[in-house]
């Protein structure tokens, strides 16, 4: 797909097996320094009857780099709107965003509220944040945490000024850093390797620019546009990048959200706990398939019913703790 500013965006569409009914389309948005492969395990777990669209954010994977003015979450939201317009021109949509992908969905709600009201029948916020990303400590205490945050900002500035097209990071070093920063207990070697490969494929100046955009991200008020949409908020209790309190802040703004905590998991729950993530998304897809009008009264009723049957007080997020498994 070619975006409105000329950037080429790599898009991958998976049609239902046998050309079956696909009233609902799942659109998957990956996070910072990764690409559409983030969703491989989740997509593999979903029913073959689900139509999926996933793509590489600009500056990542097979898409064109982001320029100095386009390495923003606002631009990513506009790209998402264009992906929807070109790849899913009609029918209800379920959106799922991991990390910066979740931030992109929030920005979509802020910048394209009519699109969200007309088309979005469900949203999954996966290991993401609605703001305060400039205060991250990467899990370190006290002065060490503040130093880690300053170091991250300094690295972002260096990347913005870097002139080469690939990161100067050897595969073993990328894997070691990824293992510590984005995974919880006992990650699979294949998953650590995949995260490192995606990082090394990302465009340096682009990810430096996006890191600055992430630190400025504040979309708490934008969540109001999704208040009547069925939502799930998912997080690992060992997430260093978007900690549990960030997920809780999102859920507090979404009256009918289902909140799921994955014990022992880090930031990459799309790989560490892919079955649980897929199950949560599949529930949104199932609900969307029975909802007459996305964002309308039928959607409101479905969300309220789920909150009630889950034993939660109406208008409060339903919390659940995922059982630790191999996935």
Q: Is pLDDT above 90 for 90?
A: yes
Residue 243 has pLDDT above 60, yes or no: yes
The residues near 290 (Cβ < 8 Å, ≥ 6 apart) are 302
Q: pLDDT, tens digit, for every residue of 110-160?
A: 999 999 999 999 999 999 999 999 888 777 777 777 777 777 777 777 777
Q: Considering only CA atoms, which of 112, 93, 101 is closest in space to residue 73?
A: 101
The mean-pLDDT minimum among 10-24, 178-192, 220-234 falls in 10-24
8 Å CB contact between 262 and 276:
yes
Report the distance separating Cα 315 and Cα 11, nearest Å: 37
pLDDT band (50, 70, 90) for residue 323: low
Domain spanning 11-134+215-321 has what CATH number? 3.40.50.1820
Q: Are 113 and 106 in contact (CB under 8 A)?
A: no
* Stretch 278-285: mean pLDDT: 98
What's the whole-number average pLDDT of the chain?
Answer: 87
Query: pLDDT digits over 301-320, tens only?
Result: 333 233 322 333 333 456 77
What is the C-alpha to C-alpha distance for residues 123 and 51, in angstroms, rounded to an integer?
Answer: 15
Q: How confident is the model at residue 296 (pLDDT cuts 50, 70, 90)?
A: very low
Average pLDDT in the 47-75 region? Answer: 96
Q: How confident is the model at residue 220 (pLDDT cuts 50, 70, 90)?
A: very high
Q: Residue 169: is its pLDDT beyond 60?
A: yes
Q: For residue 172, what are its two tokens?
A: 């073993």
For residues 207, 213, 113 and 121, what is the CA-based torsion angle, rounded to 10 degrees? Answer: 50
Domain boundaries, the chain: 11-134+215-321
Find the mean pLDDT for residues 296-302: 36
100-107 average pLDDT score: 99
pLDDT at 21 over 70: no
Residue 241 gets which letter from DSSP?
A: S
- For position 18, what pLDDT does the model report? 66
pLDDT attached to residue 150:
74
- Please state the rounded mean pLDDT for residues 200-223: 94
How open is the CA angle 119-71-113, to the nearest 5 degrees? 20
pTM attached to this predicted model: 0.87
């Amino acid at each position: 797909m070619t975006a409105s500013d000329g950037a080429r965006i790599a898009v991958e569409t998976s049609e239902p097996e046998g050309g079956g009914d696909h009233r609902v389309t799942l659109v998957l948005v990956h996070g910072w320094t990764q690409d559409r492969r983030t969703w491989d395990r989740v997509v593999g777990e979903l029913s073959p009857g689900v139509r999926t669209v996933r793509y590489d954010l600009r500056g990542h994977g097979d898409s064109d780099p982001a320029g100095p003015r386009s390495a923003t979450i606002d631009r990513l939201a506009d790209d998402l709107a264009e992906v929807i317009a070109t790849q899913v021109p009609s029918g209800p949509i379920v959106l799922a965003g991991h990390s910066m992908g979740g931030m992109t969905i929030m920005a979509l709600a802020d910048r394209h509220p009519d699109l969200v009201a007309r088309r979005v029948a469900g949203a999954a916020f996966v290991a993401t944040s609605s703001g305060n990303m400039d205060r991250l400590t990467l899990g370190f205490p006290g002065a060490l945490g503040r130093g880690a945050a300053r170091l991250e900002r300094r690295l972002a500035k260096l990347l913005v000024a870097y002139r080469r097209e690939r990161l100067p990071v050897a595969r073993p070093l990328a894997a070691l850093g990824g293992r510590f920063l984005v995974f919880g207990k006992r990650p699979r070697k294949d998953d650590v390797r995949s995260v490192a490969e995606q990082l090394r494929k990302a465009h340096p100046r682009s990810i430096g620019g996006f890191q600055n955009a992430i630190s400025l991200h504040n979309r708490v008020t934008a969540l109001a546009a999704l208040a009547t949409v069925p939502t799930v908020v998912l997080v690992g209790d060992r997430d260093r990048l978007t900690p549990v309190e960030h997920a809780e802040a999102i859920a507090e703004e979404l009256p009918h959200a289902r909140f799921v905590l994955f014990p022992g998991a880090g930031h990459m729950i799309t790989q560490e706990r892919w079955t649980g993530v897929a199950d949560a998304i599949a529930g949104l897809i199932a609900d969307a398939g029975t909802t007459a009008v996305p964002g309308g009264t039928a959607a409101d009723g479905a969300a309220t019913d789920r909150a009630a049957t889950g034993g939660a007080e109406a208008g409060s997020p339903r919390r659940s703790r995922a059982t630790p498994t191999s996935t």
